[in-house]
Amino acid sequence: MSAKATVVIIEDEPAIADNLIHVLEMDGFNVCWFATGEQGLAYVAGNNVELVVLDVGLPDVNGFELCKTIREFSDVAIIFLTARNDEIDRVVGLEIGADDYVTKPFSPREMLARIKLRIKKPTFFTSQVVTPVIDIDGQSTEPSTNTGHLISANFDYCVNGQMLGLTAVEFKILDKLISHSANVLSREQLLIAADIAPSASYERNVDSHIKAIRQKLKPFALADSIQTKRGFGYFYKQSPTL
């Protein structure tokens, strides 16, 4: 039997949480709700969680700071839910590791669709979870598994045996760039590759994801592998040493 995907809601407004819980549970998700950041953080740190819906304006901690803390130990998908709709807030939220940013008021059905888009695919109950890894040069280092063990859908790239720790969106963008290294890809093309519906308001957020990927490549002297073609987009410049 497959395990239910667990969504954690960290939101201090009961009415908002109740609407989300109802929609998610009706769709088969396991939902845990916490009204404070401290409670939510403790649960995420100690349990298997597929996605976190995180309010920015929590009573005990700023949601941005909580996201940073979670990113220190987990690559769980995170969707910010907030009344703050300034562009700078959206950019900051994505730069520190969130996968999406939804402003209040919102449609619970739309949130459900966003969650299903971002969430890691559920795995079967098993005593072993294996994370497939792909070398930066494109060679697969995916470990073999035994019958009954399902590989996690959370792929990553690695350099010299070290995983980069990419989020799902970052992996899809980097994978698209590497697999089309001879081409300049527009922001719209990269959004589509990341399973995000292209929109003028979101296209600039690709820049934030590119910045995050470059930071993760920097320790390996590969940050310059992602080149900018001003006015057109980005392309991956294969390192001659790889």
Per-residue pLDDT at 143: 37
Mean pLDDT for the chain overall: 77
Tokens of 39: 């409670």
Dist. CA 80–CA 156, nearest whole Å: 23
Q: What is the mean pLDDT of residues 114-143?
A: 50
Amino acid at 126: T
pLDDT at 142 (0 to 100): 45
Residue type, 80: F
For the chain, what percent of residues have pLDDT higher than 70?
A: 76
**Percent residues over pLDDT 90 in the chain:** 21
What does DSSP say about strands 156-159 and 162-163: parallel, antiparallel, or unpaired?
A: antiparallel
Provide the pLDDT for residue 239.
55
pTM over 0.85: no
Report the SS3 class of residue 183.
coil
Of 159, 169, 155, the C-alpha closest to 209 is 169
Query: Which pLDDT does position 35 carry in this prediction?
Result: 94
Start-to-end CA distance of the chain, whole Å, equals 42
Helical (H) or strand (E) element with 6: strand 6-10
* DSSP single-letter state for residue 219: G
pLDDT over threshold 70, residue 29? yes
Lowest-pLDDT range, 71-75, 136-140, 148-152? 148-152
Q: Where are the alpha helices (DSSP H) in 76-204?
A: 87-95, 108-118, 168-179, 187-193, 200-203
pLDDT over 60 at 81, yes or no = yes
Residue 24 has pLDDT above 80, yes or no: yes
Q: Roughly what angle, to the nearest 10 degrees, separates helices 63-71 and 37-46?
A: 10
Confidence of residue 89 (pLDDT cuts 50, 70, 90): low
Q: Residue 215 is encoded by which pair of tokens?
A: 């930071």
**71 pLDDT band (50/70/90 cuts)?**
confident
Kindly report which listed range (110-124, 135-149, 152-166, 202-216) carries the lowest average pLDDT score. Answer: 135-149
The enclosing H or E element of 180 equals: none
Q: Is the pLDDT of residue 49 over 70?
A: yes
Q: Residue range 174-188: average pLDDT?
A: 86
SS3 of 181, please?
A: coil
Q: Are 63 and 152 in contact (CB under 8 A)?
A: no
Give backbone dihedrals phi and psi of 36, rounded to 5 degrees, phi first: -130, 155
pLDDT attached to residue 133: 52
pLDDT band at 33 (very low <50, low <70, confident <90, very high): very high
Q: Which two tokens stand for residue 81?
A: 């839910």
Q: Is the pLDDT of residue 101 over 90?
A: no
**Which of 144, 228, 233 lies closest to 191, judged by CA?**
233
